[in-house]
């Protein structure tokens, strides 16, 4: 019996390896895909909030500063393949006008990240998106003027 093998057992290890490999690889690839999209949204929201708070702290004129900040957020989100939804940027100022010397200006950017490859019929049972919020605070220059140039 030392030289004989059981019949019909040849090649089954390769099939088992492939089956287990696919069962483990597909969820792992999906996890990497989802985490990549969430990380891209986090990078985009962070860049948008950072630049929006800087623009709001340095640009004279509240209306001009707000338009420029919204453009910065749209650009940052667009770089990562997201669109800026209405209300994606929320501005919170300590003082009025926002560029009052030493005033804190907070910019919050919100992004909803749709999870890829989730069928519509599962929308009631599982969440189909991840919400990302990033808040950045800038301080207006102590010696800045508050008027429009």
| pLDDT tens, residue by residue, 20-42 | 888 889 889 999 999 999 999 99
Name the token pair of 40. 């891209």
Between 9 and 28, the higher pLDDT residue = 28
**pLDDT score of 12 more than 90:** no
| pLDDT tens, residue by residue, 63-107 | 999 999 999 999 999 999 999 999 999 999 988 888 888 899 999
Which whole number is the average pLDDT over 117-126? 83
Task: Give the per-residue SS3 of the chain.
Answer: CCCCCCCCCCCHHHHHHHHHHHHHHHHHHHHHHHHHHHHHHHHHHHHHHHHHHHHHHHCCCHHHHHHHHHHHHHHHHHHCCCCCCCCCEEEEECCCCCCCCCCEEEEEEEEEEECCCCCHHHCCCCCCEEEEEEEEEEECCCCCCCCCC
Give me the pLDDT at residue 88, please: 92
Give me the pLDDT at residue 23, please: 86
Determine the Cα–Cα distance for residues 50 and 76; give it in Å rounded to an integer.
10
Delimit the domains of the chain by residue range.
12-139
Question: Would you give the end-to-end CA distance of the chain in angstroms?
Answer: 97
Residue 3: pLDDT band (50, 70, 90) is: low
Phi, psi of 133 (to 5 degrees): -120, 135
Determine the Cα–Cα distance for residues 81 and 40; give it in Å rounded to an integer.
8
Question: pTM for the full model?
Answer: 0.79
Which of 18-22, 29-33, 120-124, 144-148 has the least mean pLDDT? 144-148
Give me the pLDDT at residue 141, please: 85
Q: Residue 82, Cβ neighbours under 10 Å: how many?
A: 22
């Amino acid at each position: 019996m030392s030289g004989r093998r059981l019949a019909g057992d040849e090649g089954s290890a390769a099939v088992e390896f492939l089956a287990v490999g696919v069962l483990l690889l597909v969820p792992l690839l999906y996890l990497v895909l989802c985490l990549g999209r969430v990380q891209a949204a986090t990078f985009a929201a962070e860049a948008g909030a950072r630049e929006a708070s800087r623009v709001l702290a340095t640009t004279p004129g509240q209306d001009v500063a707000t338009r420029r900040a919204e453009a910065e957020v749209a650009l940052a989100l667009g770089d990562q393949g997201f669109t800026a939804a209405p209300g994606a940027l929320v501005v919170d100022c300590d003082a009025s006008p926002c560029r009052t010397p030493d005033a804190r200006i907070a910019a919050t950017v919100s992004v909803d990240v749709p999870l890829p490859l989730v069928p519509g019929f599962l929308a009631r049972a599982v969440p189909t998106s991840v919400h990302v919020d990033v808040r950045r605070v800038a301080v207006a220059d102590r010696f800045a003027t508050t008027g429009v140039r």
